[in-house]
Structure 1
Amino acid sequence: MRKKVGAQYIGNNGTKFVIWAPFTKQVKVVLSDGRTEQLLKVAHGYWEQELSDIPPGTLYKLSLDDEMVFPDPASRSQAFGVHDWSKVTDPNSYKWSDTAWKGIPLEEMIIYELHVGTFTPEGTFEGVISKLDHLLELGINTIEILPVTQFPGSRNWGYDGAYPYAVQESYGGAEGLKKMIDTCHQHGIAVLLDAVYNHLGPEGNYLSQFGPYFTEKYKTPWGSAINFDDKYSDEVRNFFLESALMWQEEFHFDGLRLDAIHEIIDRGARHFLKELSQNVDELEKQTGRRFILIAESDLNDTKIINPYEKGGFGLEGQWVDDFHHSIHSILTGELEGYYKDYGAMAHLAKAFKQAFVYDGVYSKFRKRTVGNNPVELPPSKFVISIQNHDQVGNRLLGDRLAQMISLEQLKLAAGVMLVSPYIPMLFMGEEFAEDRPFQYFVSHGDPDLVKAVREGRKREFEYFYDKGDGEFWDPQEEETFNASKINWDFKEDQNKTALFNFYKKLINLKKTGAFKAFSNKEKQIEFSEEGKYIKIIGKEGQNLFAVFNFKGEMLETEISGGNYDWKTVIFSAGKEWGGSANFPPTFNSGEVLKIPAHSMLVLSRNLY
């Protein structure tokens, strides 16, 4: 049974407090005006009370056994920082204008991942609103924002959030976030939230002072795991379930991208993710709106997205790192770290065919067998990218593809992603070859923590130091953050503008079904390691032929089969996209195709 927690405004200047602190003997609400109010202990370790004369805006903390005073772990607002007063808010104060909005199915999404703080000069939700015309021109219908729960200071990726119910104040707080989502919906854009339920940030996280929110049974990269299956886990699960549902119910998010779900460790009979998915199903019935849950997972396990009747968790989709790694390793030649598992055309061909490269095969990097077979699942279950915050920001220099490869190679990578049958996700700025880095940055207030972060990041990049690949950017320095902000003057650059227009064309073709035939499981894929190319033929109401030339020289090839007339759908080396070649609008399958270095071509012909 659901149980709302925290300070819940109930109207007429009354607020109900619900706090879980099973081992304390006394819990009091301490108000900033000097008043103190006692809460009453009820079942399962909760403390509750409806209190009068506590309107929205009231500042409070919680006293445990008259010994320690902390902010509320379920605080809806930390206006003065992660260590300071919590604030009562009215969840119904914002007046929505999106009552007709019902959402977008995952299979129709063109996703754009962005970090609010660096997406615009303002670094706010209002700043995002100011760029919606750009996104609409590009063809984006969904944005996915990195985490926005309250973190220390004003600079952070968001994964150090300490309050799963509170919105980062420096971005614009809860009202600013609601306005951004409302405005997006009015423009036909869905909004997904990157939600973190595998850990909390180390600064401002007071959960352990209240109860056993963490367990020593398991360890994660961040320390003790969140307690999803140990003693007292029912109330812990409720705490995080309520947070996840709040973002979709109160804030009108269209769904969640769930961070690193392989670190949500739950060996109970009903996994937390399945319980969340079932609760979201109920929310859909109640609201008449569509909600999407997408997992980030490195397990390549179809259980995450399989339906309940097949023993699955029932999530709508999941990220596929295999696709990114296959393209990246071929284009850059990087074969260090996890890229040692990739680098061959066979890997990219397999990713194009079925998403997972590691589907029950041995991984040299992990030194074990990884994954299972996804062939029974539709391609709309898989979200792919050629860049994202992790794959850029977790590099030594935070360098993007535009700093590593040519314009022609950038168009080739974009073509593979958008022609593929999967759900594409762009990372902010990739559509115009943004060449500013996206670095890892923080603004912690604890000097010891700052030191630990610096040393940890340096250890992570020891390999690159040995190679002399660059200097370490200090995560705590404001300049690291400022250097990561998007440069919006791209239209002054001819190549950047050409790439932007190429993305626009590809996205429009994708949305209008031009590449639908490649979703057919019967598509034929041919590749050559020596020739460094992939050819694909798909059939579904039309014949569709694509060739991707990853070699640095001209590829001469032909279309096998009968003697048919073909028309050009898109050719990346064309002059209209900043290239230097021409390709005829129609083509006969008996002729030789000449595909320039690092380019791609799609042709089509009608079957009936």
Structure 2
Amino acid sequence: MNNVNIATRIIGVNFDKKGQANVVLWAPEVQQAEIVILSLDQSIPLVRKEHGYWTLTTNALKAGELYRFILDGNEQFPDPVSLSQPDGVHGASQAMDITSFEWSDQNWKNHPLKNFIIYELHTGTFTTKGTFACLEDKLDYLIDLGVTAIEIMPVAQFSGDRNWGYDGVFPFCVQNSYGGAESLQHLVDTCHDKGLAVILDVVFNHIGPEGNHLESFGPYFTDKYHTPWGNAINFDDSWCDGVRQFYIENTLMWFRDFHIDALRMDAVHAIKDFSPVHILKEIKEHVDQLMQETGRRYYLIAELDLNDTRFINAIDKGGYGMDSQWIDEFHHALRVSSGQERSGYYSDFDGITSLAKSFQDAYVYDGQYSDHRKKRFGIKASDNPGQQFVVFSQNHDQVGNRMLGERTSELVSPEMQKLLAGAVFISPYIPMLFMGEEYGETNRFQYFVSHTDPELAEAVRKGRKKEFEAFHREGQAPDPMGEETFINSKLQWELTDKETHKTLLSYYTKLIEIRKQQPAIHVLNRKELSVECNVEQKIIILHRQYKIQDIICLMNFSRKAQQIRVPVYAPVWSKLLASSDKKWNGPTDLPESVSEELSLVLPPESFTIYTNMYE
């Protein structure tokens, strides 16, 4: 073992063309391993192989059968590489042939990463029923909006049927209450038919608490390093080869067997690995091999709380080869620019000064002293193209990790909402929306779980209360175990037909259209960009160029009208968009064209774009 087969899954239960089940279990420290087939009430011993693997080839186990493993003749456990848990995390595993789905996307070609316009969503709260099948019913809406890729929050099997997804305990298994593996495959197939790429959020830095039996099988964790979730995943300690294969095979499965187009890798800064070849680099090398074999393009997008280009630099330049990363600093600077609080990690950001720097340099901190971190932080990202950074005005973390889960629509004015959206879409980076922001969803997105272990459930309640004990003057943190917390986080689709939500939706649609059609915005060239900010006026002027096109973007973050003059000459400047126009429920219309230099009075909290080329 330990030699990953790019073409097919090796570990777990898999079926060959003759219908035989090939069973491979990694349990390096046990003396005996058996598989018990529930319908036959029969156990079959596995054969020990090298490096801690146990194997079996049998006709007794059929697709659809329930099974468990018995270790050292004692307790029974579900398969850590299970593809299906029909009765939840505590139930038996179900054998399935992951390759039996009949795909119709043979002609699908993934979008270039630079063309991604991402829409992050949570399956359980995106629709009333919270399933992949119901999600399919909303794909045409997303296409009309103009997004090119959906990003699905984690779907690995978790306890109960309500969870953000970051408590998954079966990384290979698709949540049963969402519809399971075949339903996810059908969703991806449908997305490809409609021209949408699919990004899946995966968690390789920890395993959830309830139903987590990995330590019974082997040293999946190490006490060498501590993470916010306990002992770290074992990527570089004794017996780490089996753990590394586990996550490499998981990555390949999503791309090869589910036709996922990109993985968003949660909090990779919490992955601890001092091996000669970092696990992310090794994953990337295997993905590159898979791309050569399939002829398809796959992307790895990292969530990273380190301004360290080593993660996103190419392997041949000494990096780990991640294709892109989330850049929270753009969000933090944007949030402070909008007048929201500067507590916690937001205290490091100076509003429009920081935002202007992020437009220019991606990282706000690229070697300066961070007062919040109490150290110098970050390195410069001068040579990294714009497509290597994903930006947003809100996401699941920045909304749901607030005590009350308030969305931006509750925290700022309607005019500021339009300005924040404009700042994201005018950037030279990949834009991402969080579900519902495009029409100003008013339901909060709160933290919810549905653990069935009473002690764990109470511990989560107490932990959530303690986390926000300094904020009690603002109310109590919602009960994460309460079903109402989950239900109250669902989108209200009826709002899209009501004012002012309908107009905001049209505004977002127009923003995305401009993003796609205007070369100076669409081409993510960080070199042909200049930015200036006026701290006193709270104005940012962003100038983007491509060949003979110039685009001037004017952002007024103040609550007052501001006179501006932009000394960039053009015979005629034509308006592409002004958030203050009455058609967008704004207070005043700005002129359709301006001659020579741009001289305007910018309305409060407004976003305005003019170009020297407009057809």
TM interval, short-chain normalised: over 0.9
CA contact (8 A) 2:157 2:175 kept: yes
**Contact 1:518–1:537 under 8 Å retained in 2:** no
Residue 524 of structure 1 corresponds to 530
Identify the residue that residue 101 of structure 1 maps to in structure 2.
Answer: 108
Could you give the per-residue CA deviations for residues 343-378 of structure 1, whole angstroms, max 9, x where no partner exists? 321100001112110111111111112111001111
Distance 1:189 1:590 in 2: 41
| Correspondence for 2:201 | 194
In the TM superposition, residue 332 of structure 1 has moved relative to its aligned partner by 3.6
The residue that corresponds to 2:285 in the other structure is 278
State the shift of 1:446 in Å: 0.7
1:67 deviates by 1.3
Q: Which residue of 2 aligns with 1:55?
A: 62
Question: How many residue pairs get matched?
Answer: 605
Distance (Å, rounded) in 2 between the aligned partners of 1:47 and 1:491: 54
> Per the alignment, do residues 84 and 531 of structure 1 end up closer, same or farther by CA in structure 2, a change over 3 Å counting?
same
Asked whether the 8 Å contact 2:407–2:444 carries over to 1, the reply is yes
- For residue 505 of structure 1, the aligned residue among 510, 525, 528 is 510
Matches of 2:220 and 2:526 in 1, distance apart? 46
SS of the residue 1:564 aligns to = strand
The equivalent position to 2:4 in structure 1, one of 2, 5, 29, is: 2
Match of 1:28 in 2: 34
Q: What CA deviation, in whole Å up to 9, does each residue of 1:445-473 have, x standing for no partner?
A: 111111111111112112322xx112210
| 2:166 maps to amino acid | Y
Segments of 5+ residues of structure 2 without an aligned counterpart are none
Is it true that 1:130 corresponds to 2:137 in the alignment?
A: yes
Q: Which TM-score applies when normalising by structure 1?
A: 0.98
Deviation at 1:24, TM superposition (A): 0.9
2:584 is the alignment partner of 1:582 = no
Moved more, 569-578 or 412-421: 569-578
Q: Distance in 1 between matches of 2:108 and 2:597?
A: 50
Q: Residue 320 of structure 2 aligns to which amino acid in structure 1?
A: F
Q: In 2 relative to 1, CA 197–403 (structure 1 residues): closer, same or farther, beyond 3 Å?
A: same
Q: Is the Cα–Cα contact under 8 Å of residues 13 and 53 in structure 1 kept in the other structure?
A: no
- Give, in whole Å, the separation in 1 of the partners of 2:544 and 2:109: 33
The structure 1 residue matched to 2:557, chosen from 550, 553, 557, is 550
List aligned pairs for 1:167-178, cutoff 5 A.
167-178=174-185
What secondary structure does 1:78 align onto? coil
* 1:220 paired residue number: 227
Shift of 1:590: 4.3
Q: Are 1:259 and 2:278 counterparts?
A: no
2: CA distance between counterparts of 1:308 and 1:19? 32
Rounded to whole Å, the distance in 2 between the matches of 1:263 and 1:524 is: 35
Amino acid at match of 1:533: I
| Corresponding position of 2:86 | 79
- Whole-Å separation in 1 of the counterparts to 2:339 and 2:396: 18
Say which SS state the counterpart of residue 16 (structure 2) adopts. Answer: strand
2:494 to 485, 489, 496: 489
**Pick from 309, 322, 326: which aligns with 2:329?**
322
Distance 1:159 1:535, change over 3 A: same
Correspondence list, 1:368-383, <5 A: 368-383=375-390
Give 1:13 shift: 4.2
Secondary structure at the aligned position of 2:416 is classed as helix
Confirm or deny that 1:346 pairs with 2:348.
Answer: no
CA deviation vs aligned residue, 1:517-553 (integer Å, no higher than 9, x gap): 7734242211111110101223322121111000001
Q: How high is the TM-score relative to the length of structure 2?
A: 0.97
- Equivalent residue for 1:420? 427
Structure 1 pair 561–482 and aligned structure 2 pair: CA distance change class (3 A): closer
CA change 1:518–1:294 in 2 (3 A) is: closer
Once the two structures are aligned, what percentage of the paired residues are identical? 45
- The Cα RMSD (Å) is 1.3
Question: Compared with structure 1, are the counterparts of its residues 241 and 591 closer, same or farther at alpha carbon in structure 2 (3 Å cutoff)?
Answer: closer
Change (3 A) 1:66 1:510: same
Runs of 4 or more, structure 1, over 6 Å off, are: none
What pairs with 1:88-487 in structure 2 (closer than 5 Å)? 88-465=95-472, 468-487=473-492
**Could you tell me which of 535, 539, 544 is aligned with 2:541?**
535
Counterparts of 2:148 and 2:570, CA distance in 1: 39
Distance 2:86 2:296 in 1: 31
Q: Distance in 1 between matches of 2:597 and 2:237?
A: 67
Q: Structure 1 residues 264, 133: closer, same or farther in 2, change over 3 A?
A: same
- Could you report, residue by residue, the CA deviation over 1:84-124 in whole angstroms, capped at 9, with x for unpaired residues? 10110011221111011121121000000000000000100
> Equivalent residue for 1:67?
74
Query: C-alpha distance in 2, partners of 1:501/1:563?
Result: 29
SS in 1 for 2:612: strand
Distance 2:306 2:597 in 1: 45
- Structure 1 pair 522/139, CA: closer, same or farther in 2 (3 Å)? closer
Amino acid of the residue matched to residue 562 of structure 2?
A: L
Deviation at 1:591, TM superposition (A): 6.0
What residue identity is the alignment partner of 2:176? E
Give CA-to-partner distance per residue, 1:318-363, whole Å, 9 cap, x none: 0000010011112143111111011321100001112110111111
* CA displacement at 1:563 relative to structure 2: 6.1
- Residue 513 of structure 1, CA deviation: 3.1
Contact 2:158 2:169 in 1 (8 A): yes
Aligned AA (1:498): T
Instruction: Give the whole-Å Cα distance in 2 for the aligned partners of 1:123 and 1:226.
Output: 30
Contact 1:520 1:539 in 2 (8 A): no
In structure 1, distance between residues paired with 2:333 and 2:291: 36
Of residues 520-529 and 82-91 in structure 1, the stretch that sits farther from structure 2 once superposed is 520-529
Contact 1:102/1:288, CA 8 A, preserved across alignment: no
Whole-Å separation in 1 of the counterparts to 2:527 and 2:88 = 52
User: Conserved in 1, the CA contact under 8 Å of 2:393 and 2:424?
Assistant: yes
**Which letter maps to 2:513?**
N
